[in-house]
């Protein structure tokens, strides 16, 4: 693969990570300031903070593993055990994000009721669903990569 392609994908990973990092930092600052002032936060705000901050960590870890995977592709080591390990970590992180957002659906429902915005529930379900798709896709890619590595090893022994 050309370096330009992986460079574009790495830039995309940065663009995907910056908003999540910004929102997580902003929420952390707001919650910290509210606690310092002694304000009581409603259940919905605590729940939203827990879901968003809790899912930011595995999301950013998955982006880091995707970055490592692109580095392996650049170094022509795509068919290697570290690539399989990176895909496994991406799968686990995506599953954690899916579970956190699925568990946070009552929070999104409460926020939707308070704000009279039923689309919030759809957003929570959508993020959870997308994370499940990413987890399944990375599992399939990992399985295919294992098969390709075993076929390559078999071909090296026959030559």
Structural domain for 35, as ranges: 3-158
118: tokens are 């039923």
Per-residue pLDDT at 42? 78
Q: Which residues in the chain land under pLDDT 50? A: none
CB atoms within 10 A of CB 106: 13
pLDDT at 1: 55
State phi, psi for 75 to the nearest 5 degrees: -90, 10
| N- to C-terminal Cα separation, the chain | 25
What is the number of domains present in the chain? Answer: 1
Instruction: Show the DSSP H helices in the chain as ranges.
Output: 3-37, 43-74, 81-103, 105-115, 119-158
């Amino acid at each position: 693969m050309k370096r330009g392609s992986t460079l574009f994908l790495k830039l995309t990973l940065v663009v995907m990570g910056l908003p999540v990092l910004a929102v997580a930092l902003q929420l952390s600052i707001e919650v910290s300031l509210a606690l310092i002032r002694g304000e009581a936060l409603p259940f919905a705000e605590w729940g939203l903070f827990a879901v968003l901050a809790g899912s930011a960590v595995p999301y950013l870890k998955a982006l880091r593993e995707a970055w490592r995977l692109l580095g392996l592709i650049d170094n022509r080591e795509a068919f290697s055990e570290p690539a399989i390990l990176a895909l496994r970590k991406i799968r686990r992180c995506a599953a954690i994000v899916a579970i956190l957002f699925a568990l946070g659906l009552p929070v999104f429902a409460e926020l939707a009721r308070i704000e009279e915005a039923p689309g919030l529930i759809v957003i929570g379900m959508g993020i959870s669903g997308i994370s499940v798709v990413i987890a399944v896709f990375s599992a399939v890619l990992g399985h295919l990569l294992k098969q390709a590595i075993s076929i390559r090893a078999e071909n090296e022994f026959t030559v």
